[in-house]
Structures are given as structure tokens and as C-alpha cells.
Structure 1
Amino acid sequence: MDPDLRKLRYFVAVAEELHFGRAAERLHIAQPVLSRQIRSLEEDLGAELFDRDRRGTLLTPAGEQLLEDTVPLLASAQALVRRVKRAAQGIPTLTIGFMPGITLTPATVLFTGRHPTVQVRLLRTSWDDQVAVLLDGRADVGIVRRPFDQRGLQVRPLFREPRVVVLPVRHRLADRSVVTVADLAFEHLLQDPDAVPEWRDVAVELRAGRRADIPVIHQVEEKLELVASGAGICVLPLSTASFYTRPDVTALRVDGLGPNEVALAWAASRRSPLVRAFAEAAAETLGRPGTADPGAGAEP
């Protein structure tokens, strides 16, 4: 029997919450109804998906495998519905996701010149959703920044650009033109350390085991507010830092910090000629040397 998508959505909610009550609230259904649906799914699959005991709810190995496979499956189902609805409107459209600091104008101008009947829509993304919008169909193609999970995606590199550290203007290092990664060893990083492995390797707070909780930050503006208040530092691509200039923070070049890689990505299952056409336009414009800050040593 083929699994029911509704049951799979219920399963994902329980797997993410690891609590039937919270999952039922999230889904706006009664907990007994949710429990029956999960039992029905287990019967369909012939496998137990959760261990339920007094300690709580945990995924079984079968449940872990189903979660890994179900998330992209549900995203593809959402994408299918969105694309069919757009096609039913009778107007060809291309939705492009883009990260802060990246200027798409050269690519969109070239693309629309070649495809004047296509309606181009732009969707601003963040580190949290730059891949999700491609997999669930909110965007047809995206300009993305590494690192990201490449599973299910077709990726085409565009260019590299330097990363900088952003500090409060009153910081002890703020009057320098350049710092080293070692200079930042005693600082608190307001992002996932895995995103800045060079800092992670020297960070005093990590070696001392006193890493503070990182607040959930969805937008660059939020991050800069925290930096300005003295809560910590952040590392940004140069174009992003240059776009979000403000008087209470400063951006410095960092010796020993690797560049940020910018790429074009789309769902690997897509065969749309419009996606391919925009990929060509982006490669011809955004992928050329000098499309990042000309004084920053950008590479193709």
C-alpha cells in the first residue's frame, strides 16, 4: 500500500516534536486522532516508527529512515502543487530566490531580454530557507551561499567573495584595517561555529566548554543589532556587510578566513527550460570576475 501523504505529514510533526500532544496542537487535531493515524501508518508500512515509554517518544531506526525520506518527498509534493497552480494561470513565471547582498539585476535583465513574455518574481531568502524554497517550489531557482545541504539539488558555482568580521565601533579591534583569526579567539560568535570553522578551531569559549546559547537569528538586520549592542561578533560575506552599512558597526578583513562561495541551485528533478535559461544568464553575468566588490579580490 502506498503511504498517504496526510499520514506522512502527521508523522513528520510527531518526529520533529517527539511529543504527540505538541504535534497534535501544531496540526490542530485531537491527540487521539493523531495517535490513530500514526498507528495506521505503521500498519501500512509494517514497521514501528516510534518507541513510546515513560521516558518519552523516540524514533526507531525505521522511523529515522522514514523521516529522512519523507521530508524531501513532502517538499516535492508542495512544489508540484505550486507549479501546477502557476501553470493554470496561463502566464509563464520564474521565481528566483536570492540571499542578502547579492544583486540579481544583470542576470534578470539578460534573461528577460531573451524571454520577454516570462514574468520574473523575486523571493528574498535566508540561511535557514535558501534550500527549502527550492525543494518545496516557492522558488524555481536560487542564488545561494555555501554551506548548504546539496541533496536533491543541481548546483552551479558562480563566484567567491571574501568574508569579513563585523564588530561594534567601540570594539578593541575596530580601529584596525585587518585582523587575524587568532585575534578573534576570545570573541563570542553570533552564529553556528560550523559556519566559520576557522574561528571554531581557535575559539577560547569552545575549548573552555562555556559556549553560550546562540539566539535564533533569521535576518541580517537582527544579527547586526546584536553586534551593535555588544552581544558578540558575526562573520558575513563582504557584499552583505557592504549592503547593510550602519554607523554603530564596522567590518574588517580577516587574514586566514576563507571566502564565501556563491552558487546557482535548483531542484535536481526540474527539467524546466526556463530554469536552464536563467542559469545561463546568471553564469554570463554574475559568474564573471568583478561581479563582486571589485576591490575585494573576487574570483569567478
Structure 2
Amino acid sequence: MDVDLRKLRYFVAVAEELHFGRAAERLHIAQPVLSRQIRALEKELRAQLLRRDRRATELTAAGSRLLEDAPALLAAAEAVRRRVAQAAVGQLRFTVGFMPGVTVTAAVRAMAARHPDLAVDVVRTSWDEQTRVVLDGRVDVCFVRMPVDRRGLRLRPLFAEPRVAVLPADHRLAGKASVGIAELAAEQLLQDPDAVPEWRDLPERLAEQRHSRPRLVANTVEEKLEYVAAGEGILVLPVSVVTFYTRPDVVHVPIEGIADSQVCLAWSAGRSSQLVRDFVESAAAALAG
């Protein structure tokens, strides 16, 4: 049995919204059509995916399992579509994603020298998107900062660098030679806590202080630094990022007792491509040199 990707997209919308009306609006289709498609998918999979009554819609165990696996399937299909479309118009391109603070010039030049007829593009990505751009085919490889969800990926470790606390210039800790992660526990963290496992793992008595206010919405490094400068919170970033985005109203202080930021090269585990293999070799050699 083949899984219908259109029905799978419909299911993901319902599973994320847990509301057929909102999902139908999101998909720009009529609600009765959506309901029929979900019933058809359940019939094809021989499993009930959703429980629905007058008050609520909720996932079954089978539905929860499908919601875990579906995004990877949809991303892989989108990646195939992108690469086929490029090939159809005769484009020989290779796209490299990178996180802020990571310089990819040497690796890109090495790849271009190895393949003179290949156009090598670069795309800046973010913490939330760094693996998604690989899985859905927007980039062929990406320089990612760990930790990441490894599902569907292959990873090649490249280098590591220290992480620092980024504080307002007038912060009480700004003049210290170094700080411990626990000293920052009462501060508002302006980034995804999963990016700082040591912060996430602080004792529960400190967690109450850390979550006393909702996290402000900031998607880019520039936005987050604006909040830091305004005294709204702090960041924990690799030292290369803060030295690249130097500004007089923000300082950085080394943090004791936390692991370095590990940078890896990531590409799709299900893809067999000589160009990807060549770039991995070129990147590793360029960074080693």
C-alpha cells in the first residue's frame, strides 16, 4: 500500500491544529472534504488516527505515531520535487546552508575548484530551520550547531568552540572573568532552551525562576541582541557569533563547566550523491588546513 502524500498533509494539519475547522481554513479546503480525506486515510492505514466528539479532537496512539513520522516523509517528497525541478531546467547547482558565526568560504571555494561547472549557492539558516532545510531539499548540506534531531540525517563533526553568556553592558555580571551556568538561572533566556542543555537541566528550584516570564519572540540573532541590549534577558552563544555581531551595549562572559558548541556538517541520510560526498571531503580538508 502506498501512502497518499496529499492525505498525509491533510492529516498533519488536523493533528497540529486538533480542530477540523481551523485545519480546513489552513489548507483552503471545505471541512467536509477534509473529514472525508481523513476517513479515507484511516481506511487505507487500517487504523483510527483521531478521536473526535462535539468538544474536542485528539490523537490516538496510532495518530501520534503518524504525526512523528509524517513530517520526514513530506520533507523528503519536497526535496525530491525541488531536485527534479532543477534538473528539468538544466540547473547544475549545489546549495550550502550555514548557521550564524560559521564561515563557509573556504569549503565553498574548494568545492567550486573541484567542480568548475557547478554553481555553489549559500543560504543562512537558523536554529529552528537548520535541519529542516536539509530534509526538505532547500540545501544539499548544512553546517549545523548541535544538538539537533538526527533522524533522517548523516553528520560529520567538524570543530568545536566555547560558548559565552551574552549580557547587557550594565549587567551585574558583566565585569566578571567568568560565570557558572547556575549564576544565570534567574535571568530570562531569549532562545530555545534545547539549544542550551545545561540550562534546561538546572535543578527544578531554579527552573521556577527561569520560567517566571514568557519567552519573547525573536527569530534572528540580531533581534535577540536587541532584546539583550534592552535588558530583557540573556543569551548563551558560541563565541564566534558574538564576536561577529559586536556592539557596544552588549558584552560576553565565558561560562564555566559547559560543553563547547559542536559544529557538524549535515546531509540527508537517504540520499546518495557524489556531489555531497565531494563537499564533505572538501569541507573537512578546508577546515583542517
* Alpha carbons 1:164, 1:236 under 8 Å: kept: yes
SS at 2:156's partner residue?
A: strand
- 5+ long unaligned stretches in structure 2: none
- Runs (4+) of structure 1 exceeding 4 A deviation are 202-205, 207-210
Q: Structure 1 residues 287, 71: CA separation in 2 closer, same or farther (over 3 Å shift)? A: farther
Displacement after TM superposition at 1:54 (Å): 3.5
Aligned to 2:259: 258
Corresponding residue of 1:292: none
Contact 1:98/1:142 (CA < 8 Å) preserved in 2? Answer: yes
Q: Secondary structure at the match of 1:206?
A: helix
Moved more, 219-228 or 196-205: 196-205
* Partner Cα distance (1:249, 1:171) in 2: 9
Q: Which residue is equivalent to 1:119?
A: 119
Determine the C-alpha separation between the residues in 2 that align with 1:170 and 1:109.
42
Residue in structure 2 matched with residue 101 of structure 1 by the alignment: 101
State the SS of the aligned residue for 2:237. Answer: strand
For 1:78 and 1:197, the matched residues in 2 are separated by 31
Alignment deviations for residues 162-200 of structure 1 (CA, whole Å, 9 cap, x no partner):
001100011111122322223223222122333323234
Superposed displacement of residue 208, structure 1: 5.2
Q: What's 1:162 paired with?
A: 162
One-letter identity of the residue aligned with 1:227: V
For 1:218, the aligned partner's letter is: N
Distance (whole Å) between structure 2 residues aligned to residue 202 and residue 246 of structure 1: 33
- The 1:274/1:111 distance shift into structure 2, 3 A limit, reads same
Q: Note the C-alpha offset of 1:116.
A: 0.8
Give the TM-score, by structure 1 length: 0.91
1:280 aligns with 2:250: no
For residue 51 of structure 1, give the secondary structure of its aligned residue in structure 2.
Answer: strand
The answer to whether the aligner puts 1:32 opposite 2:35 as a matched pair is no
Aligned length: 288
Partner of 2:215: 214
Quote the offset at 1:157 in angstroms.
Answer: 0.2
1:59-138 → structure 2 map (5 Å cutoff): 59-138=59-138
Among all aligned residue pairs of Structure 1 and Structure 2, give the percentage whose two residues are the same amino acid: 59
Give the whole-Å Cα distance in 1 for the aligned partners of 2:210 and 2:241.
31
CA distance in 1, matches of 2:247, 2:103: 19
Distance 1:268 1:287, change over 3 A: farther
Stretch deviating more after TM superposition (190-199 or 161-170)? 190-199
Name the aligned partner's letter for residue 65 of structure 1.
R
Structure 1, residues 78-102: CA drift from partner, whole Å, max 9, x if none?
Answer: 0001000111222321111110111
Q: CA deviation at 1:287?
A: 4.6
Per the TM alignment, residue 135 of structure 1 is displaced from its structure 2 partner at its CA by 0.6
Report what 2:227 is aligned to: 226
Rounded to whole Å, the distance in 1 between the matches of 2:55 and 2:260 is 45
Amino acid at match of 2:154: Q
What is the DSSP-based 3-state SS (H/G/I as helix, E as strand, rest coil) of the residue aligned with 2:103? coil
Could you tell me which residue of structure 2 aligns to residue 193 of structure 1?
A: 193
Q: Alpha-carbon deviation of 1:36?
A: 1.3
Aligned AA (1:286): L
Q: What's the CA shift for 1:204?
A: 5.5
Distance 1:145 1:222 in 2: 19
Structure 1 residues 58 and 130, CA gap change in structure 2 (3 angstroms):
same
Q: Distance in 1 between matches of 2:239 and 2:205?
A: 25
SS in 1 for 2:198: helix
Distance change in 2, residues 1:199/1:48 (3 Å): closer
Structure 1: 5+ residue stretches without partners? 289-300
TM-score when scaled to structure 2? 0.95
**In 2, Cα distance between equivalents of 1:75 and 1:176:** 46
Do 1:186 and 1:204's aligned partners in 2 also have CA atoms closer than 8 Å?
A: no
- What whole-Å deviation, never above 9, does each CA across 1:104-123 have from its counterpart, x for those lacking one? 01111111111111100111
Q: Give the Cα separation in 2 of the matches to 1:111 and 1:59.
A: 46
Equivalent residue of 1:97, what SS? strand
CA distances 1:52-89 after superposition (whole Å, capped 9, x unpaired): 12341111111112222221111111000100011122
Partner-residue secondary structure (3-state), 1:69: helix
